[in-house]
Amino acid sequence: MSLERVLYVEDDKSIQAVAQLALETVGNLKLCICSSGEEALQRAVDFAPQLILLDVMMPGMDGPETLRRMRNEPALASIPAVFMTARTQQSEVQAYLELGAVDVIPKPFDPMQLADRVKSIWAVQ
Amino acid sequence: MTSEETRAQQERRLRALEGYAILDTPEERQFDELTQLAADICEVPVALISLIDRDRQWFKSHLGIEERETPLSNSFCARAVASHTLLMVVEDAREHPVFHDYEAVTGGGVRFYAGALLLSPKGEALGTLCVVDYQPRSLSAWQGQALQVLARQVVHQLELRRSNRLLEQEADQLQGLIDQVPVMLAQLDDQGRYLFANRDYRQWGGLEGVELKGRRPEELLPRTLLKKRQSRIRRCLKGQRIQAEEVSEDQRILDVVYLPMDIPEGQGVLIVGRDITESRRAEAIKNEFVSTVSHELRTPLTSIIGALGLATGGALGELPDKARGMLELAHGNSQRLKHLINDLLDMDKLVAGKMHFDMTAQSLAPLISQSMKEMALFNQEYGVDLQWQAPDKPVRARVDGYRFQQILTNLISNAIKFSPKGAPVLVELTQQDGWARISVRDQGPGIDQKAQSQLFQRFYQVDASSTREKGGTGLGLAISRELAERMNGQLWVESVPGEGSCFILALPLMGNGSGSKDTGKRHQTAREKEGNRLLALHVEDDQDLQRVLAMMAREVADFDGVTSLSQARQALSEHYYDLVLLDLDLPDGCGWSLLEDIQRIKPAPAVVVLSGMEAEVPDRFHVDAVLTKSRMSDEELHNTLSGFLNH
């Protein structure tokens, strides 16, 4: 089985647009794009993603809090989650991993490599 | 003698007198004793220390009369001073041609006067020590001599008094200065009692207005401040320099240094404390700022780089050539901006000492091979002949793999950028004198001597225009050198203009040979990092004994305990220890076998062997001390370990 369905949570519309092209067009992935943690929690169960890509800093519910709530939702609890963040100091990355993320993709990312990166993270899980 | 000279002389005399600051001061025993002696010797009822002021004579001591001053007119003493007569004797004033009509004689009944000049060391006459009687008498020769000797004693007392006053002024000035210094300063004697403390120290300890001298900190300071301080003072009294952070009652953070200091009684302690609360707060704000700025800069950059990457990567379909060219330009520059932000953040972390290094002993060739693959992609644009000369056998060093590759990537990308198309760039790994050497050699323009010395400075580029042309940030080499040094290595360049350059990264070898100390930056030992304490590895299968020893030596060392040789090897490969405390009888072999591994570490940790019985050290091993478990005392262990602190 290969990776097909990715839930992508990002509040910045520009980055959304770039990642959408990178993941859908370049990577042939099926995306559910959410602009907030709240929206992601509402739509995640129905979409049944295989992997969750989460921005860290978002207004309202931030990435870590969104992940924590997903972990309490039986249907989502075991889906691997990856943080995408521009805050990549060592201590920060360590903290994200301790929150239960399987990996951290630093921003800015290479859009031509993004889908491959996401797929290889998923393959390892 | 002209009248001007007299006036000038008088001014000199008055200035000299003023210098003693004696006029109008209270009576003092040491002067009164001298007048008493003078009166006794000369068998008279009155003796005076008379100082000749501008318009009065003033008595520092006045035995036998009430007055402390009288007018200058009709003054015997003033006469003696003006005429500079060393010993002036008037046996019967009523019969004397000059003094017979003086008021003291006609009204005061004075008949006999003898005055010895008070001469300052520079010869200025300040006044006299004089004796007076109300009946005529004569002065024997020895009485005259005695009076002059006593007069000299008066001057000595004046001199002493002046010296003391100057010393007091200096002490006050010094105290004032020490009070103004914006650090906490206190000095303790060999018994740990206060000798002095400045204003900041008193304020911090709530000790304003308290007499400190001779009292101990534990009598005066709040308990919270004392917690660790007492043991630090004790250790410092034994000669250890200790630096520690202490938190005061109002939650201020102090950086406190305890310095052993020689005092006349022996070994004292100087306590120097600095309030670093503000700088800590500023540091926290700066860290948050750096993190936020990097985030705020990277967020828009993410979509810019992303969009340009998609366009130039072909995700949006074929582009007209001109549009592609422009977009590639923008893409390249957005990448450069990303590197600049990353470099700035790296530099910031390095300068603040906040960069974490995950040091592991590993073979370097695979790391270099991987970097070469990555650089091959980068080289596609430049087309230099990238060559990699791997060594015949593994070369191992302790490095953080990621940071090691960061240095390599920087050196190789520089070499590629500055080489003509098709020219070779040779990367080579060799070992030499205990060092792993990674060299990156190019046939670019080369670098002259002056530029070589500046090359590793931040934001330096040999040719300023090359920043734009070559796309560098000017931070790469500065960061690379810092990274190399943090990994106990060195980075330098050898170059001749016109003949290319060779950048060399040297790292201390693991696993064979010995790194000669003069070619390597000295290792920063755990001791230097943690203040004056040892980080020790205790290899001992009896865990109870491990705990006991850790307790016994808690003042000088922190212990990591392991129970077997294999665990010890693992620990030694992961951490640097100042000292290894080694039991010989271990479950997986004899402790001696570990010595071979220990002696390969550069610089080698000190080794203390702890044996169950008397142990003979085999010739080929170096051991710093051998202690016998059954006979070892608390003190012996403590002293042995302390010995390594003072290296």
Tell me what ipTM this predicted complex has: 0.79
State the nearest Cα–Cα gap between A85 and chain B, in angstroms: 8
DSSP output for B460-478: --SSTTHHHHH---S-HHH
Tell me the C-alpha distance between B235 and B555, whole Å.
8
| pLDDT at B224 (0 to 100) | 65
Size of interface A-B (CB pairs under 8 A): 75
Cis peptide before B603 (omega within 30 of 0): yes
Which of A15, A21, A90 comes nearest B302 by C-beta? A15
CA distance A106 to chain B (A): 10
Q: Which of A20, A43, A36, A11 is nearest to A118 (CA)?
A: A20
In angstroms, the Cα distances linking A110 to A52, B128, B212, B306, B416 are: 18, 100, 67, 6, 22
Q: What is the pLDDT of residues B596-624, one digit of tens each?
A: 888 777 778 888 888 766 666 777 777 88
Does B291 sit within 8 Å of A89, measured CB to CB?
yes
CA–CA separation, A124 vs A96, rounded Å? 18
Phi, psi of A91 (to 5 degrees): -65, -35
Distance of CA B543 to the CA centre of its chain: 40
Q: Please choose, from the candidates B385, B406, B574, the residue with its C-alpha nearest in 3D space to the C-alpha of residue B505.
A: B406
Q: Which amino acid is at A88?
A: T
Residue of B nearest to A89 (CA): B291
Q: Which of residues 37-76 of A touch B (CB under 8 A)?
A: 57
- In this prediction, the residues of chain B whose per-residue pLDDT falls under 70 are 1-5, 224-225, 227, 459-473, 511-532, 612-616, 630-631, 646-647
Q: Is B302 on the interface with A (CB under 8 A)?
A: yes
How far apart are the C-alpha atoms of B529 and B533, rounded to whole Å? 9
Q: How far is A94 from chain B (nearest CA, A)?
A: 12
* Phi, psi of A48, deg, nearest 5: 50, 65
Give residue-wise pLDDT tens across range A20-53: 999 999 999 999 999 999 999 999 999 999 999 9
Chain B, 311-330: which have a CB under 8 Å from a chain A CB? 313, 315-316
Calpha distance B553→B156 (Å, rounded) = 58
Of B258, B253, B257, B246, the closest CA to residue B275 belongs to: B253
Q: Does residue B449 sit at the A interface (CB-CB below 8 Å)?
A: no
Which residues in chain A belong to E strands, given as ranges? 5-9, 30-34, 51-55, 81-85, 103-106
CB < 8 Å & 24+ apart, contacts of A64-70: A64/A96, A64/A99, A65/A37, A66/A9, A66/A37, A66/A40, A66/A41, A67/A99, A67/A100, A67/A101, A68/A99, A68/A100, A69/A37, A69/A41, A70/A40, A70/A41, A70/A44
What confidence score (pLDDT) does residue B463 get?
59
Which residues of chain B does A18 touch, with a Cβ-Cβ cutoff of 8 Å? 302-303, 306-307, 310
Q: Which residues contact B95 (CB under 8 A, 6 or more apart)?
A: B136
What's the predicted TM-score (pTM) here?
0.47
The three-state secondary structure class of B490 is strand
Between residues 345 and 374 of chain B, which touch chain A (CB distance below 8 Å)?
A: 345, 349, 355-356
B345 neighbourhood in chain A, CB within 8 Å = 89
User: Which of chain B's residues have a Cβ under 8 Å away from the Cβ of A25?
Assistant: 315
Hey, what's the torsion of the CAs at B445, B446, B449, B451, to 10 degrees?
70
Cβ–Cβ below 8 Å for A12 and B338: no
pLDDT computed for residue B394 by the predictor: 85
Task: Determine the residue among B310, B312, B337 to mutate to test chain A binding: the one whose Cβ has the most chain A Cβ atoms within 10 Å.
Answer: B310
> Where would I find the H helices in B501-633?
526-530, 543-552, 565-574, 592-600
Q: What is the model's pLDDT at position B468?
A: 47
Q: Nearest Cα to B59, choosing from B127, B118, B123, B4?
A: B127
Tens digits of per-residue pLDDT, A5-23? 999 999 999 999 999 999 9
**Closest-CA residue to B63 (of B15, B116, B111, B131):** B131
In Å, what is the CA distance from B460 to each residue of B287, B415, B453?
Answer: 25, 16, 10
The angle formed by the CA atoms of residues B465, B467 and B468, to the nearest 5 degrees, is 80
Tokens of B363: 């073979």
Q: What is the pLDDT of residues A71-101, one digit of tens each?
A: 999 999 999 999 998 877 667 788 888 888 9
Predicted confidence at residue B526, as pLDDT, reads 41
Q: Give the C-alpha separation, B436 to B394, whole Å.
A: 10
Q: How far is C-alpha B537 from the chain's CA centre?
A: 30
**Amino acid of residue B90:** V
CB contact burial B519-542 (16+ within 10 A = b; e otherwise): ebeeeebbbeeeebbbbbbbbbee
What's residue B423's pLDDT?
93
**A111–B315: do the CB atoms touch at under 8 Å?**
yes
Quote the CA–CA distance of B451 and B475 in Å, as a whole number.
Answer: 15
Phi-psi region of B626 (alpha: psi -120 to 50; beta: other; left: phi over 0): beta
